[in-house]
Amino acid sequence: MDFFALTNLLILILIANSMVIQNGPFHSPDADHGAETPPAGLKGGHELGDDSRWQETVSSAGLKGGRESAGDPWEEAALWYRNQLRQHEVVGGALLLLREGKVTAEGYFGYADLETGRAVDRRTIFHWASLTKTVTAVAVMQLRDKGMLDLDDPLTRYLPEIRQIHNPYGSMDEITIRMALNHSTGLRNPTWPWGGNEPWHPFEPMHWEQLVAMFPYTEILFPPGSRHSYSNPAIIFLGRIIEQLSGDSWEVYVDKNILKPLGMHHSYFNHTPVHLRPYRTNSYILSAGNGDGERDSSDQPGERDSSIQPGEQDPVQGSDRTRPVARGFDFHTGITTSNGGLNASIEDMVRYLQFLLGRLETPHPVLERSSLEELWVEHLPIADEDGIRSSAALSFFLEEFDGIRVIGHTGNQWSNFSYFYIHPESGTAILGVTNTDGKYDMHRFRHEVSRKLMRKLFPR
């Protein structure tokens, strides 16, 4: 064998070895994260407790002592998180850690689609529910910076029809855009408290006129501006104002002015376009589990809004029901799109977090940094529990513990439960999401998990 033939043979051996390493349980950060072929024997009959469902990538960059060090916070958090997902019978989920604005560790659990055996990975598109509200806040600040509105403008300047709402505490003209952003308008939490419990009902009202028709039957529940109380209608009002001032639908405005400039090309609203269907996660609920088509609701600190009411027993807790039922890939959030309609891939959500952290370069600034930071100024206290002080900013929420402050939001809708928290000073962020209503109350699960991860993964 001549020299050149021997050299080519050695190169082929090296390539083959590198492929074996990349396809092992820990993927290379640069490996292809497209749809994976399920292991033989799993298609159509997957075992939800199998440890092989956890796929993890860890980079030593930004992790104290690197991957091999004892007491690595990611190692401890990932192990605990994986066990929690398995115990709660979650079909699919993800957890990512960013340090200095870069993904340093990521874990993907289970399946985006059980029927085909398609695994969750970076390209998987989840529904992010109320995380959408932070996008609406960015859009409001864009219009403010252009001089098209002021945060202290009354909502009635743009939406005179809301004067039909009954306000026993004064004039509707006293309720401002700022109050809508910090959830202190006095409006109720749910968008549409009438009906919605039949399979033939729309998931949410589809038209603005439907909300207007019910304004005479709507009331302000407490003096506006006096305290925080999460409200979906308040954010819908902001979405409507964006439409009126921009001349675009809310979806078109956000796509043109936020998503595309940030490079979020696998993000959209409501029904999935054909070319992105291979990446969309299904949504799952355990048989006879919590709810069937729950609307977007908040479990922001200090509130509880789930299908299990205080004093009631969780109908699934303690049972042995383990068969998840697919609810379908798509549903339409209707008039509530501006407060809960975002669908996006994990990769796109990482870009969004990098934008919030100030670690994403774009050809043109999406929002001035000072305006973004204005959204994170504390406005109203919410709760102080378990050593974490929670407060409301402008569409974002603040959590303070152990001498640090993180900024974030949570969301839940159609069995998708999500959260992100950022620490801009260090460029640290966590992002988590699941696609299942599990064995326990998943509102409580997400609340407890996100708080534990905050304490484990953010720098002290």
Q: What is the mean pLDDT of each run of 10 residues along the chain (460 residues)?
A: 50 37 29 33 42 61 36 88 92 97 96 96 97 98 98 98 98 98 96 82 89 95 97 97 98 98 98 97 76 44 34 41 84 93 98 98 95 98 94 98 96 94 97 86 90 91
Q: 281: which DSSP letter?
A: P
Distances (CA, A) of 378 to 20, 127, 231, 381, 394: 50, 28, 18, 8, 8
**DSSP letters along 308-352, please?**
S-TTPPPSSTT-----EEEEES----GGGHHHH-EEEEHHHHHHH
Tell me the CATH number for domain 73-128+264-457.
Answer: 3.40.710.10
Q: Which CATH architecture fits 137-255?
A: 3-Layer(aba) Sandwich (3.40)
Secondary structure class of 112 (helix, strand, coil): strand
Alpha carbon 394 to its chain centroid, in Å, reads 17
Cα separation, 439 vs 318, whole angstroms = 8
- According to DSSP, the β-strands at 102-113 and 125-129 are unpaired
Q: What does the radius of gyration of the chain's CA atoms come to, in whole angstroms?
A: 23
Other beta carbons less than 10 A from residue 200's beta carbon: 4
Give the C-alpha separation, 286 to 300, whole Å: 24
Report the pLDDT value the prediction gives residue 1, as an integer from 0 to 100. Answer: 53
Q: Residue 418: helix, strand or coil by DSSP?
A: strand
SS3 356: helix
Give the dihedral of Cα atoms 194, 446, 269, 217; nearest 10 deg: 20
Structure tokens at 425: 């000073």
The two structure tokens encoding residue 406: 């993180």
User: 184 near 379, Cβ under 8 Å?
Assistant: yes
Q: Does the reported pTM lie above 0.85?
A: no
- What's the angle, vertex CA 129, arms to CA 141 and CA 313, rounded to 5? 135
pLDDT of residue 229: 97
Both tokens of residue 261? 């400039």
DSSP helix/strand/coil, 448: helix
Q: What distance in Å separates the CA atoms of residue 406 and residue 400, rounded to the nearest whole number?
A: 6
Secondary structure string (H, E, C) spanning 15-48 = HHHHHHHHCCCECCCCCCCCCCCCCCCCCCCCCC
Please answer whether residues 367 and 137 qualify as being in contact, where contact means their C-beta atoms are separated by less than 8 angstroms. no
Give CATH 3.40.710.10 domain extents, the chain. Answer: 73-128+264-457, 137-255
pLDDT reported for residue 248 = 98
Shortest CA distance to 114 belongs to which of 329, 367, 413, 380?
A: 329
Residue 42 to residue 388: CA distance in whole angstroms: 42
